Structure 1
Amino acid sequence: MYKKISVAIDGSHCSDQALEEAIDLAGACGAELEIVHVIDSGYELAEVRAGLVRRGQELLTAAQAKAEAKNLHCHVVLFDDIVALGDVANQIRQVVEGSHAQLVVIGTHGRRGVTRLLMGSVAEALVRQCKMPVMLVRAPQEA
């Protein structure tokens, strides 16, 4: 089974679902959990960036507390590389490949058609780019 699982979070409902799935899977496998948050490099204003970093740290702290409450060994990674120019999927891939994770878990909104085309899909890009398996966790449709 898996010895190291990475989960990417962004604070959305579907990323919360992915975190829960990754925690359960890591617990079942006795795996180490790596929780990753990437700062979107599309913002250059120092005040905006500082707020994004603060929010990212808060997300990671809360996620780590959830994992540790289930007695999981985990660590967090805040990735903030302004040179990456907003390619969040590639940044996540770099982190998980560098940590030698055996599985990546990420939430997906399940967008289709024009919405997906316009907004892009970090999850879809990860599936195409990663060498290791990627588990997509789709959040239930909101009413």
Structure 2
Amino acid sequence: GEIAELDFLPHLSTDDLTAYLSDQRDKNIKNALKGLLPERVADFLSEDYPEKVKQLSPKQEKELLDKLKHLQIHITGKMSLAKSFVTKGGVDLKEINPKTLESKKVPGLYFAGEVLDINAHTGGFNITSALCSGWVAGSLHYD
């Protein structure tokens, strides 16, 4: 399978995160991470660590920072359509050109549909957004 690398906090450097953890040292690790990440992601990332930030060893802190900036996910396949729902998150709309849906970070890379960070009610709103953004991204680049 393939490997995908995730940067949960692309707007923050490792130094920024080190300073943040230092400021949060008396807090529960889960709560410190919830200040930066969705709750379920914070819960997942904090599973293997002591309760408090100040209890992290230097090795554990480096490991946590690596997970926040470079988490490697091994892709082994896909799940059924019934399990293919995203509840929150996606590519930040500030990172794309709204007229073309092109990435501001990677020229020539376009985003559409539910990969975008758009939260809407189910029942037609998401499918309309997905179809419209797909049409925009595709039609602007079709010869």
Q: Which structure carries more relative contact order (alpha carbon 8 Å, separation 6+)?
A: 1
TM-score, scaled relative to structure 1: 0.27
Task: Kindly indicate which of the two structures has a greater share of residues assigned to strand.
Answer: 1
TM-score, scaled relative to structure 2: 0.27
Task: Kindly indicate which of the two structures has a greater share of residues assigned to helix.
Answer: 1
Bigger Rg, structure 1 or 2: 2
